[in-house]
Amino acid sequence: MNRKDWSEEELIKIWTSKNGNANEAKCPFSECPNKNVLMRFSNYGNHSEVSWVVDHIIAIDNGGKNELSNLRPLHNLCNSIKSNRMIK
């Protein structure tokens, strides 16, 4: 399945479902090498230290869905490290 292009409305829902209305948040990935570096909502997909992407908690490859309960913001680097593993 191809990567989904998220609308601004979807990104806001994904971000706020995990972080409320905060503009910055810690990465929830347990193996995050940048635990002290906050993600910033405005840096979605920017490929910087503070950027984030939409992570599927259960990867699409493993039967995960594009449903809000299966989505979370994650540092871009952490999403690459996690790949399609099922790590919280």
Give me the domain span that covers residue 51. 8-82
- The answer to whether position 29 is within a domain reads yes
Q: Is residue 58 part of a domain?
A: yes
**Is 53 part of a structural domain of the chain?**
yes
Residue 84's pLDDT is: 79
Residue 62: CB atoms within 10 A of its CB come to 11
In a domain, residue 51? The reply is yes
Number of independent structural domains in the chain: 1
Q: Is residue 34 part of a domain?
A: yes
CB within 8 A of 55, min separation 6: which ones?
A: 29, 71, 72, 73, 74, 78, 79, 82
Residue 73 is assigned to a structural domain of this protein: yes
Give the three-state DSSP class for 40.
strand
**Does residue 74 lie within any of the structural domains?**
yes
The per-residue pLDDT for range 16-74, each reduced to its tens digit, is 999 998 999 999 999 999 888 999 999 998 888 789 999 999 998 899 999 999 999 99
pLDDT over 70 (residue 9): yes
Compute the distance between CA of residue 24 and CA of residue 5 in angstroms, rounded to an integer: 22
Spatial separation of the C-alpha atoms in residues 35 and 6, rounded to whole Å: 25
1 in a structural domain: no
